[in-house]
Amino acid sequence: MMNYEASVPSVLSWIGSTLLASIAFWSCFGACVADTRPPDSQPLSRVVASWDPLACGEPHRVVLELEDEAGRKLSQSVPCELGGMTIDVSRWGVYIGRIYAWQLGPEIRSVAPVRIEVDAPVIYWTTATPK
Task: Report CA-CA distances (Å) from 71 to 66, 79, 85, 91, 96.
Answer: 9, 27, 22, 12, 10
Distance between CA atoms of residues 78 and 103, nearest Å: 11
Query: By CB neighbour count within 10 A (0-12 exposed, 13-18 middle, 19+ buried), where does 67 fall?
Result: middle
User: Is the pLDDT score of 35 beyond 80?
Assistant: no
For the stretch 65-111, pLDDT in tens is 999 998 999 999 999 999 999 999 988 999 999 999 988 877 888 89
Q: Are residues 22 and 63 in the same domain?
A: no
Q: Which residues, other chains included, contact 39 with Cβ-Cβ below 8 Å and sequence gap of 6+?
A: none
Q: Are residues 117 and 53 in the same domain?
A: yes
Q: Are residues 56 and 120 in the same domain?
A: yes
Q: Are residues 85 and 29 in the same domain?
A: no
* Whether pTM exceeds 0.75: no
Tell me how many domains the chain contains.
2
**Structural domain boundaries, residue 4:** 1-36
Q: Are residues 56 and 25 in the same domain?
A: no
